[in-house]
Amino acid sequence: MSTEITPREKQEVQGAEGTRPGRSYVPDIDVSESGDSLCLWADMAGVDENSVEVDLKDGVLSIVGRVSVKNYEGLQPAYTEYNVGDYVRRLRVADDVDVENIKAKMRNGVLELQLPKAQRLKARRIQVQAG
C-alpha cells in the first residue's frame, strides 16, 4: 500500500487582516502538549526574529511575521511555488494558559511559542498522611 502526500496550498488571509498592502498568508502550525505546557510552532519562511510580532489581547494571541520584499523587487521568475507575503494568525488562548509566562523564539523561519499551563492545572502528586 502506498500513500501519496499532497502539499497544501498556502491559505490567503480573508478580510481586513492585511498588515501592509499586498497579500498575507496564514502560517501552518503544529501544537503539542506536555504535562506542563503547550508548544506551538508556526512556519513562517522568510521571516527573521526582528520581523515577527506576538501579542496577546483579550485572550487572543496574534502572530504577525513580515517578509521583506526588497529581494524580490524587479524579478521576473520563470517558475515559482513560493508566494511572497506577510503571515498573520490569530488564536484564542484557553483560560488554563499562564499568559504571564508565554515565551517565544524564532529560528530558521519557525516561530516557537511555549504556553505554560496555569499552576492549578499541572499534574501533581498529593501526599497521603496517616490518620
pLDDT at 35: 84
pLDDT at 111: 97
pLDDT at 18: 46
pLDDT at 121: 56
Give the number of C-alpha atoms closer than 13 A to the C-alpha of residue 4, restricted to the C-beta side.
Answer: 2
Domains of the chain: 19-69+82-117 (2.60.40.790)
Average pLDDT per consecutive 10 residues, the chain (131 residues; last block may be shorter): 55 55 84 92 92 93 89 79 84 90 94 90 75 74
Question: CB 92: neighbour CB atoms within 10 A?
Answer: 9
Helices (H), 22-91: none
Burial (CB count <10 Å: 0-12, 13-18, 19+), residue 27: buried
8 A C-beta contact, residue 37 and residue 114: yes
